[in-house]
Amino acid sequence: MKSDLNNMLDSEYQMFVNYHLSICEREDLIGYSGHILSIIKKIKEVKTSFILW
């Protein structure tokens, strides 16, 4: 997990920290953090072409 965290973009890391902080003290999730399944859909990046004159 260390290498995954080190390779994250700053914005990805901030989302991870926000997620972690939102669940880390929930009593209903204590002991289950290693067994949570996140289903994530990757959104295709849109690349823009620019024509420079």
pLDDT one digit per residue (tens) for the chain, 53 residues: 778 888 888 999 999 888 888 888 788 877 665 556 667 777 776 665 555 55
Contacts of residue 16, defined as CB under 8 A and 6 or more positions apart, other chains included, come to 5, 8
Does residue 16 contact residue 5 with C-beta atoms inside 8 Å?
A: yes
Return d(Cα 27, Cα 14) in angstroms, integer.
23
At 23 the pLDDT is 81
The pLDDT value recorded for residue 46 is 61
The rounded distance, in Å, linking the Cα atoms of 36 and 29 is: 9
**pLDDT at position 22:** 84
Residue 31 confidence (pLDDT): 67
Which sequence spans correspond to the domains of the chain? 2-30
pLDDT recorded at residue 41: 74
